[in-house]
Structure 1
């Protein structure tokens, strides 16, 4: 295996802040789960991006579903619904590409706390609030998620090898920019 894709994979995972325990000083990177098998037509960046974005989107969907129903402001509920719908469509595309790699849909980041990830603790905190406080917590979490997925998607678009994966990454990065602009209009 060439070292370039492995080094880039490590960089992406480290840039994403992937760590098994946030208190550790050095991130624990599950390299064996991604770098040992890179399917033909893909590189380590493609695989790492797919294996990171899919669980991030899955977890964000739970929060988006909740906010579409419980947001105190109609504009918050509307934005949550729109973002949720686009995330669901993107998630289908992400899974289709992952299926083409032949790699399992295993979440190699299970239990990791990464920037932009809607963790169980954060979801619990947000779901326990109501009214404007709910909206505020939701918008903060959504902003972190959108910014991080835009960041790592730009990295995939620049350094990935698979044309379809890079095109989806560009599309997601662009969508996140639009969604962040809409979110900024709602944030105090």
Structure 2
């Protein structure tokens, strides 16, 4: 629910920004290109970059701290699709002409892995580590899935919507694995 309110607010801000930029006679090429992206697209791109960037340091702890080959395999799978998605998200970010500073970086929101969680996890090993990792990854994947569903319903830019559909598929598979491990 919070994510939908956040997306609605960001959609309003994004659309307001697009109207202002589009009405300026000296609009730059990046701003002109950005008009193909709707507010939901822009917010989704930025939020997912922030969420995925915060998840990766947690996943990097798994090989040395996990006591489970299943958790290690899941982590490797999530790390692989997250890295691939980040590459696509960054390309969309550049194509949309979004600013270099991401306003969502470090923003506390459901599913966002915090530096404190990474620090706490780095002090754990074995089953306690695996339990913490599964909980954090599940929260991240569920929120990511919710946001991708919103992008699928409200987004307008075809590449962004296509990536959201891919996110929905990868999250479903990984969440099924987490449920089997829990």
Normalised to the residue count of structure 1, the TM-score between the two structures is 0.81
Task: State the partner residue of 1:58.
Answer: 53
> How many residues are matched?
166
- 8 Å CA contact 1:83–1:179 kept in 2: the answer is yes
Unaligned runs of 5+ in 1: 1-9, 17-28
Alpha carbons of structure 1 residues 32 and 106: separation in structure 2 relative to 1, 3 Å: farther
Task: State the partner residue of 1:126.
Answer: 121
* Structure 1 residue 47 corresponds to structure 2 residue 42: yes
Q: How far off is 1:120 after superposition?
A: 1.2
> Which residue of 85, 89, 101 corresponds with 2:96?
101
Q: 1:15 and 1:162 mapped to 2: Cα distance?
A: 16
Q: 2:154 and 2:160 mapped to 1: Cα distance?
A: 11
Alpha carbons of structure 1 residues 170 and 151: separation in structure 2 relative to 1, 3 Å: same
Q: 1:45 and 1:31 mapped to 2: Cα distance?
A: 5
Q: How far off is 1:98 after superposition?
A: 0.8
Alignment of 1:27-38 (within 5 A): 34-38=14-18
Task: State the partner residue of 1:83.
Answer: 78
What secondary structure does 1:37 align onto? Answer: helix
CA radius of gyration, larger in: 2
Q: 1:97 and 1:68 mapped to 2: Cα distance?
A: 31
Q: 1:92 and 1:124 mapped to 2: Cα distance?
A: 26
Q: How far off is 1:105 after superposition?
A: 3.2
Q: 1:85 and 1:139 mapped to 2: Cα distance?
A: 16
Task: State the partner residue of 2:171.
Answer: 176
Measured against aligned partners, the alpha-carbon deviations of 1:12-53 in whole angstroms (never above 9, x if no partner) come to 35369xxxxxxxxxxxx7789745533211110000101100
What secondary structure does 2:61 align onto? Answer: helix
Question: RCO (CA 8 Å, sep 6+): is it higher in 1 or 2?
Answer: 2
What secondary structure does 1:58 align onto? Answer: helix
* Structure 1 residue 136 corresponds to structure 2 residue 131: yes
Unaligned runs of 5+ in 2: 19-33
Task: State the partner residue of 2:4.
Answer: 12
Task: State the partner residue of 1:148.
Answer: 143
Q: How far off is 1:174 after superposition?
A: 1.3
Structural RMSD (CA): 2.2
Which structure has more helix as a fraction of its residues? 2
Q: 1:143 and 1:88 mapped to 2: Cα distance?
A: 17
Q: 2:172 and 2:101 mapped to 1: Cα distance?
A: 28
